[in-house]
Structure 1
Amino acid sequence: MKKLYQQFNDLNIDTDIQPVDVSDFEKEKVKRAVMKGRKKNYFPKSISVAAAFLVASSITLGLAFPTFAAKLPIVGNVFELFNDDEKYVFEKYDLQSTDIGVTKESNGISVTVTNAVYDGENIAIAYTIESEKDLGERPVLDGKLNTVEFQDLYKDNGYDQNYITKKVSDHEYAGLFVYQLIKGPKPDEINVTWDGDNILNLANVENTFPGDWSFQLTLNILESKTQDFFQTGIHSEANGVDVKLTKMTETPVSTTLYFSEIVDERLATLEDSEWRGVLIDYIVTDNLGNDYNIIHYENTGHSTDFKQDHVSYPRLTTSLFHEDATSVTITPIVNIYKTKNGDGSLELVKAPYPIESMQVDLK
């Protein structure tokens, strides 16, 4: 979808929508964000519905389990294994990560935490899975994250979870576990207990492998700088959609863009009688022609169940911008959904369309 969206500014969009096959997981992701407007205090954290994950990391170099450290199944930088994924934003992570190399084994499945990074915006953990069992095409480690310094302030909301996973061979898998710190404390050091209790196959969420993989981790925060755009008027507005860039935070490994979104669903959809939901995607490019992968935190999305002045606060995490780039272009893409056949499933009303791009000077 991202590559398709990149062409929208140059194409005449045909509004005749043709169905495209997507996974049940992707359908649930869209439905989760749009339907947040229909259920108050809806914070889905189960992996089978929200398909997102907890993360944390960093301890001393694997001296606690030296016999397991030698069993590391994948040699090299785990982050780089995912450089062909649309959510890959980890080019600099290997330069800033803490080496760990600790393995825990349970029920014939070995999980190795290899590296981790905490930059105040996200906590990312790289890990591998090894087993003689067939764990499916997209197995991930699921479990609970407890951090003393957060004082339960991220317990119910204020964070989001994401993942990337890959099958490396018949018995080897690699994963990245990303915990997005949306709203809450960002201490200089965090002490984490990550209790993995299940290997879950995202390609078939009913295919699970219980076990006990517990890691105690410590991470130090990386430096960062934040630029406030709230008063500068960087925004895009059209057809009842108003998007503003509020701030940008840069760390040695990532760039995070914060937005506010207000949507008049009736005006945007030209529909006044049926339920409608709106999600806004984004394309990020620079003046050199580079396009940037993103991890998109969607916040609440928009629906006709919200009050007209409802504000959503999404954010994008991407890699560092190219050192020679002087400006960045951010293009919002509007997706409009309706309920289908009265069963609660969703379908696009018309083709996603771009609105005016936002320009951000970097120099």
Structure 2
Amino acid sequence: MKDIYELLNGMDFDESEFEPMEVSEVENEKVKRALKKSIKQKNRSSWKKGAAAAAIFACLSAGMVGMTFPAYASSIPVVGDLFKFLDTGKTGMYDHYKEFSTGLNLTEESSGIKVTIQDAVYDGKTVSMTYVIESDKKLAENLLIGGSPEIKGSQASAGSSQITKVDDHHYVGLFKSTNLNQMDADQVNMEWKINSLSLPDSHTKIKGDWNFAFSLNAAEQKEEVFNLSAKKGGVQVSITKISQTPMSFSILYIQKADEKIRDQWDDMMVELDVKDNLGNSYSGEGNGGSGKDAYSISSSSTFEKLDPKATELIVTPHVQLRKHTPENHGEAVITEDGEKREIPVKQKPGKVKEEIVLDAMVIPLRD
């Protein structure tokens, strides 16, 4: 049987079948970059599968994004490679995750709804997990999960959540998170307690108990430590480590800004453009980071499988500077009476955003 990704790839789509949804300015820019990176040709060799890989997810604050396929989704079986299926931009980011993941297939049922954790993979720092939600009754276009998975012992994590409606009774999703306060661990313990599923379109909440707990091991990995830096226009990015697994590689880096940048701009975001000496471009995703403010942060980004023939990576940091406006930022406080009061945004003068492209840094790769 073909999996859902293969079935979708072979279908002839009508643009009217898709239902549009609003996305933020930041997400719009990420999609544009991913599209540019996906227009490429690659010749890749395969790793041999080593030790069994596994994963868990813990996310304290994550955005929920999704899309629906109303015209043809009812014919799609909820089986196969959900990592590939949920890579809607076909960037190649998750092409090898299924191959090196652990098939968990853990199911909990409550209130007529089944939640199944399907596959998981853990690279020693970042964890990813696919899941399926199946309901006896028709739900809604949008679905929110009440309860975030947690890595036991972790005090902070950063991550993302993605959910897609397959048909009126099925949803599939992906959780991804990075543990921010621990050194790389060979094993992680997970708990995911779901107490409700919310349908925001109808202001309905379905209460229930879907509880999961298990331990998972890290994938095979090798690491190299570096001290590379690039600086321009008052901002600096330093690469400190690269970690490779059979399905991906991650780059750890630190961002800094001088006082002039801090005074002029409200926040700063770094995206890494990564190529190798063979001409391959690599799609990636940020894992979040931690630091004392928006300008001094230690972060990491994970990229698709590394070409084993590559001997160098060429990393070009793109620094996005932004000012807060009523359209891209909001704050609120809860008064003593329990009322929510929005705080007006004080916009700084001048242009709202700017990009600074730093000089490329070359990372030599160990055999």
CA shift, 1:88, in A, is 6.3
Normalised by the length of structure 1, the TM-score is 0.67
**RMSD over equivalenced CA pairs, Å:** 3.6
Q: What stretches of structure 1 of length at least 5 have no aligned partner? A: 1-20, 31-44, 54-71
Is 1:292 aligned with 2:282? yes
What is aligned with 1:281? Answer: 271
Matched AA of 2:159: Q
CA pair 239-181 structure 1, distance change in 2 beyond 3 A: same
Aligned with 2:352 (options 342, 345, 349)? 349
Written as runs of structure 1 = structure 2, the 5 A alignment for 1:26-175 is 47=61, 50-51=62-63, 74-85=78-89, 89-131=93-135, 132-137=137-142, 139=143, 141-147=145-151, 150=152, 152=153, 154-155=154-155, 157=156, 159-175=157-173
Q: Distance in 2 between matches of 1:193 and 1:121?
A: 17
What is aligned with 2:40? Answer: none
Q: Distance in 1 between matches of 2:289 and 2:190?
A: 25
Is 1:248 aligned with 2:233? no
Q: Distance in 1 between matches of 2:229 and 2:252?
A: 12
Is 1:318 aligned with 2:303? yes
Q: Distance in 2 between matches of 1:236 and 1:335?
A: 15
1:54-76: CA deviations, max 9, x gaps?
xxxxxxxxxxxxxxxxxx96121
Q: What stretches of structure 2 of length at least 5 have no aligned partner? A: 1-20, 31-58, 66-75, 327-342
Secondary structure of 1:79 counterpart: helix
Aligned with 1:181 (options 175, 179, 182)? 179
Aligned with 1:329 (options 306, 311, 314)? 314
Normalised by the length of structure 2, the TM-score is 0.66
Q: Distance in 2 between matches of 1:236 and 1:313?
A: 15
CA shift, 1:265, in A, is 5.0
Matched AA of 2:358: I
What is aligned with 2:41? Answer: none
Is 1:227 aligned with 2:224? yes
What is aligned with 1:359? Answer: 362
Secondary structure of 1:360 counterpart: strand
1:136-157: CA deviations, max 9, x gaps?
24x354424455xx4x3x12x2
Asked if 1 retains the 8 angstrom alpha-carbon contact of 2:324 and 2:352, the reply is no
1:17-46: CA deviations, max 9, x gaps?
xxxx9635968xx9xxxxxxxxxxxxxx76
What is aligned with 2:10? Answer: none
Matched AA of 2:122: Y
Asked if 2 retains the 8 angstrom alpha-carbon contact of 1:52 and 1:161, the reply is no
CA shift, 1:127, in A, is 0.7
CA shift, 1:98, in A, is 1.6
Secondary structure of 2:99 counterpart: helix
Asked if 2 retains the 8 angstrom alpha-carbon contact of 1:238 and 1:355, the reply is yes
Comparing 172-181 with 290-299, which one deviates more in the overlay? 290-299
CA pair 185-76 structure 1, distance change in 2 beyond 3 A: same
What's the % identity of the aligned pairs? 27
- Number of equivalenced pairs: 288
Matched AA of 2:345: G
Written as runs of structure 1 = structure 2, the 5 A alignment for 1:254-265 is 254-265=248-259
Matched AA of 1:318: F
1:275-322: CA deviations, max 9, x gaps?
63222222222233333222213435897xx8xxx7321111112212
Matched AA of 1:338: K
Q: Distance in 2 between matches of 1:316 and 1:186?
A: 15
Q: Distance in 2 between matches of 1:140 and 1:92?
A: 28
Asked if 2 retains the 8 angstrom alpha-carbon contact of 1:247 and 1:258, the reply is yes
Q: Which has the higher contact order (CA 8 A, sep 6+)?
A: 1
CA pair 261-88 structure 1, distance change in 2 beyond 3 A: same
CA pair 105-332 structure 1, distance change in 2 beyond 3 A: same
Is 1:211 aligned with 2:201? no
CA shift, 1:238, in A, is 0.4
Q: Distance in 2 between matches of 1:46 and 1:97?
A: 23
Asked if 2 retains the 8 angstrom alpha-carbon contact of 1:243 and 1:260, the reply is yes
